[in-house]
Amino acid sequence: RIRAQAAHDVGINSLLGTKAEQEGKGKALLVDERRNSQDRIAQILRKTADLTVMSDPQAALFEAAENAYELILVSTNFSNYDPLRLCSQLRSLDRTRFVPLLLVCDQGEEDTVNRALELGVNDYIIRPIDPNELVARCSTQFRRKRYNDYLRSSVQHSIELAVTDPLTGLYNRRYLDSHMHILIERSVARDRILSVLAIDLDRFKTVNDTYGHDVGDEVLREFSNRVRAAIRGIDLACRLGGEEFVIVLPDTEGPVAESIAERLRREIAEVPFRAGPDGQGLTVTASVGVASLSEAGESAAELLKRADNALFEAKARGRNRVVA
Ligand code: GH3
Ligand code: MG
Ligand code: MG
Ligand code: MG
């Protein structure tokens, strides 16, 4: 626990940088229509923020979507525009969803403040602006943003580690087991056909025995890269372990899955692998079993079992072939 906490602290601190860097400026955008208000805020924040000022909310939205701001200050002083509209747009764009928003409003605007907070605006300040208060509120948001980014990326990293096979970067069996039934349900609900390929490299033990385990690993990586290159973004490629793989192909009817399998099989067999002693190239072949889910009610395990049976038959018929 203590070691994990210490590692966590080191992570945060290296992220936040040294004290000097922590006090470094955050990148901020001010959206404000009035010249004297712009000047006053820029003056107050000159040591706290690297500030970009824009008068036009629509242009500011584009600016914010294309640059990594750490804070956006939105003034409510527009003569002809609802500032909450900008806030809500900023909250709905992927690129700005997690950027802190600070509303700069006038006294008597409690209603606007309440609606803004409901929209996900993080904080507000009321004119006349007290310089220390504005600096403190902005600094807090910068710190919060950096900490949240750190948490988000470390959580994402842990999730990736848990579902990824470290050798090849493909998904692992755990992910297949937890995710395949979702793909099946989606296919059934949309009346589409989902197919799976079960793949096993042929005589892979011989590759290891002849060239060594490292060359075997290299072949597994190169094979995985070829698989990745052959499939679409919606397909799911997994390494179950050893030299055994499963590819799930949503929206793919049996004959199409079979031709995808055949194309992959041929490419594997015909293009020598770079791995191997002195990079002289190594011929590797694979056997593939294909199964398609057409009727509702079949489980992921049953479908995989059918693909595996087909794979078994491909092996029995001499390997380096596809059986559907
Ligand atoms: P078949 O054509 O019947 O599939 O023959 P095979 O030799 O491929 O089958 P078998 O299942 O007997 O052997 C699989 C071999 O894969 C055994 C093991 O040496 C090797 N293997 C399993 N995991 C790894 C790995 O992570 N790296 C390497 N280099 N080899 C592995
Ligand atoms: Mg085997
Ligand atoms: Mg094998
Ligand atoms: Mg095997």
Using alpha carbons, select from 279, 240, 264, 236 the residue that is nearest to residue 322.
Answer: 264
Whole-number Å distance, alpha carbon 201 to ligand 4 midpoint, is: 7
Q: Where are the extended beta strands (E) located within the chain? A: 26-31, 49-54, 71-75, 101-105, 123-126, 171-172, 194-201, 236-241, 244-249, 286-293, 322-323
Task: Give residue 18's pLDDT.
Answer: 44
Ligand 1 atom at shortest distance from the alpha carbon of 242: 23
HSE-CB for 126 with a 13 A CA cutoff? 8
Measured by CA distance, the residue closest to atom 24 of ligand 1 is: 242
Whole-number Å distance, alpha carbon 243 to ligand 3 midpoint, is: 6
Q: How far is Cα 126 from Cα 130, in angstroms, rounded to an integer?
A: 9
Q: Which of 205, 211, 268 to mutate to test the pocket of ligand 1 (most atoms within 8 A of CB)?
A: 205
Residue 3's pLDDT band, with cuts at 50, 70 and 90, is low
Alpha carbon separation from 276 to 213, 214, 231, 282 (Å, rounded): 11, 9, 26, 6
Task: Give residue 23's pLDDT.
Answer: 57
Ligand 1 shell residues, CB under 6 Å = 167, 200-205, 208, 213, 216-217, 220, 242-243, 315, 319
Give the tens place of pLDDT for each residue, 178-204. 999 999 999 999 999 999 999 999 999
Residue 18 backbone dihedrals phi, psi, to 5 degrees: -70, 170
Q: Is the peptide bond before 128 cis (omega within 30 degrees of 0)?
A: yes
26-30, 119-123, 187-191 — which is least confidently predicted? 187-191
Report the Cα–Cα distance between both ends of the chain, in Å, rounded. 51
Ion ligand 3 — residues with CB under 5 Å?
Answer: 200-201, 204, 243
Look up tokens 């900490």; give the residue: 147
List residues bridging with 248 in a β-sheet. Answer: 196, 236
What mean pLDDT comes out for the span 118-124? 96
99-113, 192-206, 271-285 — which is least confidently predicted? 271-285
Report the share of the chain in percent with pLDDT over 70.
Answer: 93
Q: Give residue 318's identity as a one-letter amino acid code.
A: G
Q: What is the ipTM of this complex?
A: 0.96
Alpha carbon separation from 80 to 38, 121, 324 (Å, rounded): 17, 21, 65
DSSP 281: -
What mean pLDDT comes out for the span 35-40? 95
Task: Tell me: pLDDT of 15 over 60.
Answer: no
Joined together, the tokens standing for residue 222 give 């190169």
Task: Tell me: pLDDT of 8 over 60.
Answer: no
Reading phi first (left if > 0) and then psi (alpha if -120 to 50, else beta), residue 299 is in: beta
Give the tens place of pLDDT for each residue, 45-91. 999 999 999 999 999 999 999 999 999 999 999 999 999 999 999 99
- Catalytic residue numbers? 243
Whole-number Å distance, alpha carbon 245 to ligand 2 midpoint, is: 12
Q: How far is Cα 136 from Cα 121, in angstroms, rounded to an integer?
A: 17
